[in-house]
Structure formats: C-alpha cells, structure tokens
Structure 1
C-alpha cells in the first residue's frame, strides 16, 4: 500500500528573458507536466508556490494556469500553495473560476489554494489513497513575509522575535493540527513555500527573500512523511530535515544562473513505516540557456552543440566589430541571442584608489591649458585667457557674503588665534577697558 504524491513548483508564468516572452515554452512544459502526472496516476498533486512571476499576471497567463490546473485536477486532487510572487486575490479569483464560480460542491472541488497562514485560515485537508486504505493528510504554509506577522498575527509576545522564531511557531502549529488524531494509516504531507537554511539557490529568486534573515532552520521543519517545498528554483533534497523533503524547482531554466540545472518534477511513493521512494522525472519542454565566452573562432567550434537555445555571448575581440551580431546569428541560426558583450584587451577601466586619484588627477588650470590649444587658443592669447581665468577664480563668490569685522574678531577669539598682534586675552581686556571708559 502506497500513497502517491506528484510534486511540482515555481512555474513563474509570465517570466521573460529580457524582452522575449516564453509562452511557447510554458505551453510545452505544462503539457509535459500533465502527461507525466497522467502516467504516474498520483493520489495527490502538490504545487508548492509561485504559480505566476508577478502579482498582476496577464490574462493569457491566468488562462494558461487555469487550463493546466484544470487538466491536473482531472487526474487527481490538486493543492496549490501561494508563493512570494503570488497574491491571495489573484489565486482566490482563479480558484473561483476553476470551481465553476462557486457552484461546485466542496466534496467535488478538485483544485484548492492555500493563501492564508493564520490559524483560522490554514488549509488542512485530507485525501484517500491506495483505494481508500490510506489517507494523505496535507498541512500547508503559504509564503509569509515578515510584514504579514504584524497584520495577521496579533501575539504581542512575538513582536520582538526573529523571523525564524516566528515561522517556527507557525510551522509547529501546522504540524500540531496536522498530526492531531493521526491514525496508523495516515500519511502526513507538509507543503510550504519558504527558504530553508542550507538550500542552494539559483539566484533567479528575489535576493531579499533568500537572505539569512529569511532562512528557516532545516531541523525546525515539522516531521512528516514528505515535505513538498517551493521557492528555490534548483531541484534538490533538503538535508538535515530528518524526513524526506525536496524542492521541486522551476520547470524552466529561468535565467543564466541556471544553465547547469536539470529541471524535473518529483514523484513520491509513501508507505507507513517505510522509506519513501522518490523519483525525479526530467522535464525537457523548455529551451536551454547557454552562456558562450570566447573569440568568434572558439564560439564557432561549439556552435553546432548549441541548437535551439537562449544565448548570452561574451566575445573576445581585438577592436570594435561592426557586424558582430550578424556573425553570431550566422553561427547560431536556431538560437535566440539575448545579449552580446564585446571584451577587448586593455578596454577595462582601471579603478583608482583614493591616494592615486588625489595624486594623479590634474587640476582645472592644467585641464584648461591642455584643452584650449586644441580649440585654436594658443600663445599670447592663451596666456591672456589663463590670467583672466585666474582673476575670476580669485574674485569672491557673491553667493557667499564676506564676514564682517566683528564676526572675524569673534571667530579668532573662539579659535584662540592672534589677530593684528593682539591675543584673545588682549581683545577681551581692551573691550572691557573701552566699556569702562564709556560707562564713566
């Protein structure tokens, strides 16, 4: 007896490569995901977050998501966890449409969305498996931004806690509710969108969301039979979790930091008291991202291995090359060249340190004397211009009023400096004597 879980994540529908949309790739890889799911015949399908790439997806991307989720829902019940790129309002509307605009009874709902992490809004649900002999109990945790704790959780005791401490408490609450009344034939699934400490990011994730302040300790994850995690785009197992937990990763290579990633979905077969069987099924529906570096001759030697791909090229050249884009396009006829960078010997700009810049940078006078001869001013005329320029520099700035004599005296007195041969004590004595004479 086994419970079969199909795990996918981080579709990021709407993601582009520069100005290029990737609709055909998304359509191909989503069709591939549906076909793999149909062959696997799971009891449950989990999408662990970031259905869309942005909070305001286009109508085409919403239609694309609805079509794929409806097809997956025809295969098995689907649970979608909100990621940091998703909004609960968009996912709420999508759920409404998928469930026949609210007319479908709860026991016939095939796609459910977890968008609320508050105790009263947590999605905790269960599904039969292995012909009803097992039960898959699912506890979900959508992405929780630190700011949401302020609005969604009113516990004053947590006001000064770190993000890791707060998320640990939420995870513990999910697990407590999930495990309550657990029977011997119940299998627990934890589906969450978060960054686990030690996971290897692809850096196509938002940098702020994978910082150390957002990291969750692996040992703090609730002990379950399988952890279906989302947020990190490189497929990987989570070590030190104490139970099988995996990031399914994104179905496409999302940027040039993922050129070495093999994309996949996770097929998990779970049984009470036994080690799970985890299989990664590769995805091939997307175009590869290829980073080419070298001279045109060196790139030409590798061109036949590039094929249909997105290409970012760094080309070593001796000087400016007018027809470089055309030359690359001829070498790579099936590829889409996203970016070309020319790298020339000696073209790099030297970064000066403070000492060098102060010592070596010419003054304004020197720059003027070097510049004017090239504009036809030389000889006596140049000397006259430079003398006039020196006079202008010496004139006081009208925007800066000249201090009066009293201000000058006061400034000198405060600084303890001599002024016209009289020290501060003398100034003060002279002032006092003058005052005494006037009073007489």
Structure 2
C-alpha cells in the first residue's frame, strides 16, 4: 500500500544554444518523459517549475499544452510556477487545458500553482489508486526576492531577510497542508526554490542561486516527499529528515551541465515506511561537449564526439584563417556553437601610440575570429569574406571628386596668397573680377 509520485522539472521549453533552436530535442525528451510516466502508473505527477524558458512562442506553447494534456491522461498533474515562468502565461495555459474554462473542478486534470498568497495557495488532494491512501499536495511557486507577493500580517516581516520570509511562507503552507491530516494522508510539498547546500549546475540565473536567497534546510516543511525545482542537476537534498530531491532539467541546457545525467524521479511513499526514490535516466537530446587543447589534441578526441553541440577552445601559435574549416572537417556530425582561439606563446608588450595603431587587427581578421563563434564557417565564411572584399573595392559614394567650381576657387585662393585660409570660409563676390576678396 503506497502512493506513487512522478516528478519532473525545469523543461525550459524554447531554450536555445546560441542561435540554434532545439525543437526536435524537446519533442523527443517530452515523449520519453510521457512514456516513462505511463509505465510507472503514478497517482500524481508534479512538474516543479520553469516549464518555459521565457515568454513562449506559438510552437513552445503548443508543445507544453500537448505534453501536459497527455500527462493528465496518465494521472493528475500539478505544475508549479518557476522563476522563468510568467503567471499570465500559465493562467492562459490553464484556460486552454480546461477547455476554455468549461471543465468542472473535479474534471480538471492539470492544475497550476502561480500564487503564494494565503487565500490562493494551491492545496489539493488526490486519492491513490488502491483507494486506501490520499496524496495531499501543497504547491509553492517561485517567490522573486524583489517582488515578494506574499502578504504578511506582521509589518516587520516586510523588511526581514529573504530566508526569514520564506520560512514564514513555508510554515504557512505546511500548516494548511497538515490541517486535519489523517493516518492515511501522505503530504507532498512541491516548490521552486534554492535550498542551501544544493549543488547548482551554474546554468541557472546567477541571482537566483545567490547565497542570500537560499532557503534554510531546517525551514523546509516536514512532509512525505519534497518535489523541488530550480536546480538543474538531479540530486537528493540531504540532512533534512525526510525525502526530497531536485528532478533537474531533462536536457543539458548549457555547458555548465555537460557532466549531468538527466533524469526524472520515480517516488513511492507509504505511512511509516522508508520511501523509495529512483532517478530514471533520460536518453533523449544531444550531448553538450567542450573541447580544449591544441589542434592535434582536439583531433584525437574528435572521433568520439559524434552528434553533439560543441564549444571549442584551441591553442594556436598565431591566427589561422583556415581554423573554422578545419574544425568543421574534424566534427562533421557536430554543431559548433563557439570557437575561442588562445595563443599561449604570445608575448604581451606595451605598445606606444605610433605602433599600436599599426598593429590593430583589420576588419577581415576580426570577422574571421568572430563569425565561427556564431556558427558561420567553411564555405559560408568564404562567401562572407568575398562579399566584404567586393564592398571594399567599390568606390565610396561619399568621397566625390572635386567639381570644376571647387577647382577654380582653389586656384583663385592660391593665386592671391590665401593658401592657409579655409576655403569654406572665403566668399567671392561674383560681381567682382577676382581682384577683391571680402
């Protein structure tokens, strides 16, 4: 007799690498998540925040709506608002998934937690499949440090530290969640926050994982399971006396996550028993690979890269105009999203004004260095450079040859000894024969 919770998080639909969209990868990993959820047959599905990466485009919105509708056919779904999610977007998604608001409350399969105010907290109950247990979930969306929407009855709390205010909010969630709890009730706390001591992937927004905005471990409500979101690295949260974990992001979203194995959490909890939490690995999506070293060292590793997103830092003796083409040949299946040239043997010296201007790189050198990092290489780079050469060869329309009147004026000024006078400041009266100048 147990309750089963399927926990996923931090999809960041719409996230790009450089200028490249990842629609096919998101479709694949979402399908994989739904397949795992279907096989697990959970009583409750929790998405603990950051459904989107930013305001979603039409494709991202449709992808989210379709995925949540399909998950809702497996089990009831609770979606927690994350720091990347906009409440208005989630509320509109809620409107769509309830068939334009026509479904009654007992027919709603996907619910959204977008408010932390006491009268708007998402608190819900879901019976377990065996009919013996009830899963009670309290959901807390991300509370931005600079836009704390929770209303405190104590005015002194408005100037308290973020951690102290979060302690008060979480205590209120727990009080409401545990009110009238029976022996067959299992409590689930779903939240999007940064718990002190958790290990970030450092692809999260830096301000949101600042130590000043970390939640104290001992302040978390004591529940049967804590479904946490915000940190992209899957992990158990230790030293809190109850099971809690970050499900993590389903794809490697940034090069800070290249060592992370992505997963979803499969949780089984029962009254008075040790919970079972398994992190089921996800295999969809391209790997993110970072290559560093000399060209020879990179060439030795290139054969193992395959289909991946690749960022490269290469050590060279000097600028190499063929570098982008060479790297593309070494990594035919990869997408190179950034190249940094390092010249460890170069000698740094202070230049004086006369030599500094002469040694500044030309626009051609700058473009050859910059464009490969933006995904332009090989034949495309050659076309760009050829176009630049054509433009540079064309005459400048602003640099016009002097007209005949200007030449006559110049000659007149020179003949009267006015070589040092600005020609534009000299007025010649056309009525005069040129012997008088005023």
Q: Which TM class, normalised by the smaller chain length?
A: 0.7 to 0.9
Q: 1:296 to 1:164 in 2, by over 3 A?
A: same
Alignment: residue pair count: 358
Query: C-alpha deviations, 1:277-311, integer Å up to 9, x for none?
Result: 11111011111000001122211211121111000
2:120 aligns with 121
1:142 aligns with 141
Q: 1:237 to 1:361 in 2, by over 3 A?
A: same
1:84 aligns with 83
Q: TM-score, normalised by structure 1?
A: 0.79
Deviation at 1:369, TM superposition (A): 11
Q: 1:321 to 1:102 in 2, by over 3 A?
A: same
1:89-238 equivalences in 2 (<5 Å):
89-149=88-148, 152-153=151-152, 155-238=154-237
Query: C-alpha deviations, 1:207-259, integer Å up to 9, x for none?
Result: 01111111001111000000000000000111122110100000011111111
Q: What is the CA–CA distance in structure 1 between the aligned matches of 2:72 and 2:333, rounded to whole Å?
A: 36
Q: What is the CA–CA distance in structure 2 between the aligned matches of 1:135 and 1:82, rounded to whole Å?
A: 24
Q: What is the CA–CA distance in structure 2 between the aligned matches of 1:174 and 1:63, rounded to whole Å?
A: 32
1:35 aligns with 35
Q: What is the CA–CA distance in structure 2 between the aligned matches of 1:369 and 1:46, rounded to whole Å?
A: 64
Q: What is the CA–CA distance in structure 1 between the aligned matches of 2:29 and 2:35, rounded to whole Å?
A: 10
Q: What is the CA–CA distance in structure 2 between the aligned matches of 1:345 and 1:74, rounded to whole Å?
A: 58
Q: What is the CA–CA distance in structure 1 between the aligned matches of 2:164 and 2:314, rounded to whole Å?
A: 48
Q: What is the CA–CA distance in structure 1 between the aligned matches of 2:300 and 2:105, rounded to whole Å?
A: 60
2:256 aligns with 257
The alignment partner of 1:96 has SS state of helix
Q: 1:290 to 1:44 in 2, by over 3 A?
A: same
User: RMSD across aligned C-alpha pairs, in angstroms?
Assistant: 1.9
Q: What is the CA–CA distance in structure 2 between the aligned matches of 1:252 and 1:259, rounded to whole Å?
A: 10
Deviation at 1:160, TM superposition (A): 2.0
The alignment partner of 2:100 has SS state of helix
Worse overlay, 338-347 or 175-184: 338-347
Q: Is the 8 A contact 2:316 2:343 kept in 1?
A: yes
1:9 aligns with 9
Task: Select the structure of larger CA radius of gyration.
Answer: 1
Q: 1:109 to 1:368 in 2, by over 3 A?
A: closer
Query: C-alpha deviations, 1:384-420, integer Å up to 9, x for none?
Result: xxxxxxxxxxxxxxxxxxxxxxxxxxxxxxxxxxxxx
**1:315 aligns to 2:314 (yes or no):** yes
1:281 aligns with 280
Worse overlay, 142-151 or 113-122: 142-151
Q: 1:89 to 1:293 in 2, by over 3 A?
A: same
Task: Report runs of 4+ in structure 1 exceeding 2 Å deviation.
Answer: 146-155, 345-350, 367-372
Q: Is the 8 A contact 2:82 2:230 kept in 1?
A: yes
